[in-house]
Structure 1
């Protein structure tokens, strides 16, 4: 009994070191586990924080550089928009939509100047919208230019045709004018077989040269040549007797007067009103001069409608 008791340990603390070592190991494991969990939590928090920060950056305020870039982009779009408005307006297109967009861009620019509190995603969407609008207007401008070019080509063709027609009409008018002149010239009457006689007091006639004392009356006789172009109508036949000195014998008391020819006023000696009937009718003029005829060569000129029908000279001794 005693021997057995002597074999059992008398010191109860003999096994304490082993137990303490086991407890210490478990505690270390717990601490390591807690630290690992804390580290994992921190990593997850960091990862989540970066992700959240990215989301906030996507939806949050602009950075200084983004503000500068956005302002520059809006300014470039605004300038291009002005160009499109001017170009479309010149082409006759509708600029109302572009003017509204211009107003919106100006508001965006003002907001950027006042505050950077603008959402990135919203701004990007607006910028993309403006860029799409500009592209659409580029297509509209191209179509308007095609229409304008087509209209200009048609207008040029019409002007060319108009010029050609005007040239034809001018040519026709010129030809018509020439034809009228030719007809008018062809329609001129001619005095044929012009004869000048001196008639003395006894009624005896003398042709050719005659003396002044033999001239009681001056007789001028001719017939009007046939002309199928000239119309049958009344005519005023004027006779001018021109003295050797170049003066027209003129006396209002004997029926003399004036008429216009080539824009100037001239005297005539005597006249008759007749009906031209294209029958080669013969006309006779008798003129009694109040004074004697001076010696020399005289000229008889016959007029109607401001042109000369014919002339004849005679001599007084």
Structure 2
């Protein structure tokens, strides 16, 4: 047999084997596609959960920032600081919070924007903490200064009160020291013939009553006009007076009382002598009488005499 006859005649492959390979490859691709879809869906779900969690965290962070901001506004305003910027920020945060409440699905852009916003707000709060510290320190310094000023004011008030009390005390002393005094008082009974008698009087010798005294020198008293008043009081405490003969009334210890006679003089600090002559017009009842000298509502001097 020749070589040509020895060639082995190859049998053609069956068409079914190609189809098997095709279906195997197709199956693998489908499996891979299913796996990819499942993995993509899982990744999407995980990403959605992540964004949702981040959104909730951002909302909570905004809530905390809003509360802190409200407290900062109160603190700075109570310390007298400027809250214009904080009020604008508060308004912006409230707007952000409302937008988040209406957001149903978060995304990367939203989360990124919220992070930047909250970071900025927190940085602002830190700056305002520094401002509150500064304002608090300033307020404490001002309070200390104000306390010192109040203490100085109180001390000044006490000093003024003390000065006024001393002034009043000095004025009272001056007022007492400036009071005029009647000295060298003499009382005479003047008879019809003009004869004067001193000591115990009898009615027949007592046509008129004469009073003489000097105003003692007083360097403290001002040189000015004075109304000098004499008052004759009987044993029953009744004042001898007659309106038709120059008697009148004056205030003594807050009460109105009668006087017997008066005279206007200019006090000149010369130890000047004054003389009063009073005609009662009727007999005096027996007893002890008291003659008193007044001016400006105070007693200058007094002396008693007796009528029998």
Pick one of 72, 75, 82 that aligns with 1:84: 72
Q: Is the CA contact 1:71–1:109 (under 8 Å) kept in the aligned structure 2?
A: yes
| Cα deviation code 1:220-271 (max 9, x no counterpart) | 1111111111122211100000011101111111100111123221211101
- Tell me how far apart the structure 1 counterparts of residues 252 and 127 of structure 2 sit (CA, whole Å): 76
Question: Corresponding residue for 2:90?
Answer: 102
* CA separation of 1:125 and 1:89: change in aligned 2, threshold 3 A: same
Question: Corresponding residue for 1:12?
Answer: 7
Secondary structure in structure 1 of the residue aligned to 2:240: coil
- Tell me how far apart the structure 2 counterparts of residues 261 and 124 of structure 1 sit (CA, whole Å): 93
Q: Is the CA contact 1:294–1:316 (under 8 Å) kept in the aligned structure 2?
A: yes
Pick one of 177, 187, 191 that aligns with 2:178: 187
Secondary structure in structure 2 of the residue aligned to 1:188: coil
* CA separation of 1:299 and 1:305: change in aligned 2, threshold 3 A: same
Question: Corresponding residue for 1:113?
Answer: 101
- Tell me how far apart the structure 1 counterparts of residues 166 and 81 of structure 2 sit (CA, whole Å): 48
Question: Corresponding residue for 1:203?
Answer: 194
Question: Corresponding residue for 1:312?
Answer: 303
* 2:261 is equivalent to residue 270 of structure 1: yes
Displacement after TM superposition at 1:276 (Å)? 1.2
1:173-184 alignment, distance < 5 Å: 173-184=164-175
Pick one of 215, 218, 232 that aligns with 2:209: 218
- Tell me how far apart the structure 2 counterparts of residues 219 and 234 of structure 1 sit (CA, whole Å): 23
Scaled by the length of structure 2, what TM-score is found? 0.85
Secondary structure in structure 2 of the residue aligned to 1:115: coil
Larger-Rg structure: 1
**How many equivalent pairs are there?**
292
Structure 1, gaps ≥5 residues long:
none
Secondary structure in structure 2 of the residue aligned to 1:13: coil
Secondary structure in structure 1 of the residue aligned to 2:221: coil
Secondary structure in structure 2 of the residue aligned to 1:213: helix
Pick one of 251, 263, 266 that aligns with 2:242: 251
Question: Corresponding residue for 1:67?
Answer: 55
Scaled by the length of structure 1, what TM-score is found? 0.83
Question: Corresponding residue for 1:140?
Answer: 131
RMSD, aligned CA:
3.0
| Cα deviation code 1:263-284 (max 9, x no counterpart) | 2212111011111111111111
